[in-house]
Structure 1
């Protein structure tokens, strides 16, 4: 059977149309998946920011409590909350909370220990 040029053209046009439809369907599915991934990433980002804000507030509260503990130690003064130590090892928020509470408890224990009285100066 002999195919005319018009029939071959129609056949190729149909193949191209089908391929285009299939490609658009694939792109829609890919776009949907990417949209879901972006939404999930944004949700994780918001949760991380909220966790960070809560942790920073808690650590500022611990710092304020620590400053109250050492209030009577006139030699020990601070200009405010220190900057983060970037050389510190990475830690989860829970590990950071635990470390801060342990440090605060150690400070309270150190301050509460009885001290030897210093001799009075003679006149």
Structure 2
């Protein structure tokens, strides 16, 4: 025959298991909360770094835009209203690539403005031999 365990002992055994399980669960939850806290802190740092990088890019773009507007000041025929909004359809790129592209575009504009525009019309005309 099987031996009967008194209900009081069985109760103590069950409550001891439940207590151990609850302690293990609390320990696991504390560890997980710590991991999640670290992940949130790391995410916040990444976000702050990205925001800082974005501000650097925007500042660089604003500086180049203002320099371009100064370079075009004498071009009265050109109607420029203000700095355009970012192109949301543009291909994704890194901040450094974006800054480099803006610098290259600015240099191309500046170089184009430096070329003599009316050089041919300013040369002295040769007299035709009659």
Stretch of structure 1 that moved more, 13-22 or 49-58: 49-58
Q: Could you tell me which of 62, 67, 77 is aligned with 1:75?
A: 77
Aligned counterpart in structure 2 of residue 109 of structure 1, from 96, 108, 111 = 111
Aligned counterpart, 2:51:
49
Distance 1:118 1:106 in 2: 22
* Cα shift readout 1:10-56 (whole Å, capped 9, x = no counterpart): 00000000000000000000000000000110111111111111111
Matched, 1:14 2:20: no
Shift of 1:90: 0.7
2:25 paired residue number:
23
Structure-1 separation of matches of 2:109 and 2:94: 23
Structure 1 distance, partners of 2:119, 2:96, is 40
Shift of 1:2: 3.4
Unpaired stretches in structure 2, ≥5 consecutive residues: 122-130
With 72-81 and 54-63 compared, the bigger mean Cα shift is at: 72-81
TM-score, normalised by the number of residues in structure 1 = 0.91
- Tell me the distance in 2 between the aligned counterparts of 1:67 and 1:118: 27
List structure 1 segments (4+ residues) > 6 angstroms apart after TM superposition. none
TM-score by length of 2: 0.86
Bigger Rg over Cα: 2
